[in-house]
Amino acid sequence: MKRLTLAVLVAGVCAVGAAAADRPHRRLEPVPFTQVKIQDRFWTPRIETNRTVTVRHDFAKCEETGRISNFSKAAGTMEGKFEGIYFNDSDVYKVVEGAAYSLAAHPDPELDGYLDRLIAKFAAAQEASGYLNTYYILKEPDKKWTHLAKMHELYCAGHMFEAAVAHWRATGKKEFLNVATRFADLIGRLFSPQGKHDVPGHEEIELALVKLYDATGERRYLDLSTFFLDMRGNEAEREKRYGPYCQDHEPVVKQTTPVGHAVRAMYLYCGMADVAAYTRDKATIDALDRLWTSAVTRKMHVTGGVGARHGGEAFGDDYELPNASAYCETCAACGLIFWNHRMNLLHGHAKYADVLERSLYNGFLSGVSLDGKKFFYVNPLASSGNHHRSEWFGCSCCPTNVVRVIPSVPGYVYATDADAVYVNLYAGGTATIDHPKGKVTLTQQTRYPWDGTVTIRVEPEKPTALTLALRVPAWARGQTRTAGLYRLAASASLPPVGVTVNGKAVGEHEMKDGYACLSGTWKKGDTVELHLPMPACRVYAHEKVKDDAGHVAFQRGPVVYAFEGCDNEGLEHVYVSADAPIVAAHRPDLLGGVTVLTTTGKVRRDDGPDTDVTLTAVPYYAWDHREPGPMRVWLPEQRDAARPMPKPTVASESKVTASHCYASDTVKALNDQVLPKNSADHGLPRLTWWPRRGSTEWAQYEFKKPARVSAVEVYWFDDTGRGQCRVPKAWRVLYRDGGAWKPVAGASDAGTKKNAFNRVTFQPLTTDGLRLEVELQPTFSGGILEWRVE
Ligand SMILES: [Zn+2]
Nearest to 456 by CA among 440, 442, 439: 442
Helix (H, G, I), strand (E, B) or coil at 270: helix
Q: Could you tell me which residues are beta bridge partners of residue 601?
A: 576, 613
Q: What spacing in Å lies between the alpha carbon of 453 and ligand 1's midpoint?
A: 35
Q: What are phi and psi of 324, to 5 degrees?
A: -65, -35
* Helix-then-strand count for the chain, H and E: 17, 31
* Ligand 1 centroid distance, CA of 376 (Å): 9
DSSP conformational letter for 620: G
In whole angstroms, how far apart are CA 249 and each of 155, 243, 275? 19, 4, 20
Q: Which residues of the chain have pLDDT under 70?
A: 1-24, 478-483, 490-492
Whole-number pLDDT of residue 7:
37
**Secondary-structure breakdown of the chain: helix, strand, coil percentages, each rounded to the nearest 5:** 35, 25, 40
Q: Are strands 464-471 and 420-423 parallel, antiparallel or unpaired?
A: parallel
Closest CA to 206 of 220, 227, 185, 190: 227
Alpha-carbon span 89 to 75, nearest angstrom: 14
| Omega within 30 of 0 (cis) for the link into 449 | yes
Is-catalytic flag, 313? Answer: yes
Q: What distance in angstroms lies between residue 396's CA and the mean position of ligand 1's atoms?
A: 7
Distances in whole angstroms, Cα of residue 336 to Cα of each of 286, 326, 402, 494, 544: 18, 16, 13, 29, 23
Distance 336 CA to ligand 1 centre (A): 13
397 catalytic per annotation: yes
DSSP string, 60-89: HHHHHTTTTHHHHHHHTSS-----S-TTHH
- How many residues are there in the chain? 790
The CA 399 to ligand 1 mean position distance, Å, reads: 7
> What is the whole-number distance in angstroms between the Cα of residue 159 and the centre of ligand 1?
14
Among 203, 313, 357, 786, the one annotated catalytic: 313
Q: Of 200, 169, 170, 174, which Cα lies nearest the Cα of 187?
A: 200
Rounded to the nearest whole angstrom, what is the distance from the C-alpha of residue 88 to the centroid of ligand 1?
12
Could you tell me which residues come within 8 angstroms of residue 297 by beta carbon, excluding any fewer than 6 positions away?
482, 483, 484, 485
The reported pLDDT for the residue numbered 12 is 36
Distance 278 CA to ligand 1 centre (A): 29
User: In a 10 Å sphere around its CB, with 0-12 CB exposed, 13-18 middle and 19+ buried, how is residue 575 labelled?
Assistant: buried
In order of 322, 615, 624, the CA distances from 575 in angstroms are 19, 10, 22
> Ligand 1: distance of its center to the CA of 300 in Å?
17
d(CA 358, CA 339): 13
> Cα(69) to centroid of ligand 1, in Å?
22
- Which residues sit opposite 562 in a β-bridge? 618
- pLDDT for 52-111, tens place per residue? 999 999 999 999 999 999 999 999 999 999 999 999 999 999 999 999 999 999 999 999
For residue 331, how far is its CA from the centre of ligand 1 (angstroms)?
A: 4
Helix, strand, or coil (residue 691): coil
Q: Ligand 1 center to residue 366 CA distance, Å?
A: 13
Q: How far apart are CA 109 and CA 112, in angstroms?
A: 5
CA–centroid distance, residue 108 to ligand 1 (Å): 28
**In the prediction, which pLDDT does 281 show?**
85
What burial letters (b/e) apply to 744-757, b meaning 16+ CB within 10 Å? beeeeebebeeeeb
Cross-strand pairs, 567: none
The alpha carbon of residue 408 and the mean position of all alpha carbons in its chain are separated, in whole angstroms, by 15
Helix (H) / strand (E) element for 447: namely: none
How far does residue 680's CA lie from ligand 1's centre (Å)? 24
Round to the nearest angstrom and report the end-to-end CA distance of the chain. Answer: 76
Q: Can you give the pTM of this predicted structure? A: 0.89
Q: Distance from the CA of 640 to the center of ligand 1, in angstroms?
A: 37
Q: What is the pLDDT of residue 491?
A: 58
Edge-to-edge order in the sheet of strand 438-446: 36-38, 429-435, 438-446, 453-460, 526-531, 498-501, 504-505
DSSP string, 399-440: HHHHHHHGGGGGGGSEEE-SSEEEE-S--SEEEEEEETTEEE
Q: Which of 62, 156, 397, 537 is labelled catalytic?
A: 397
Q: How far is the CA of 518 from the centre of ligand 1 (A)?
A: 40
Distance 506 CA to ligand 1 centre (A): 45
In tens, the pLDDT along 122-167 reads 999 999 999 999 999 999 999 999 999 899 999 999 999 999 999 9
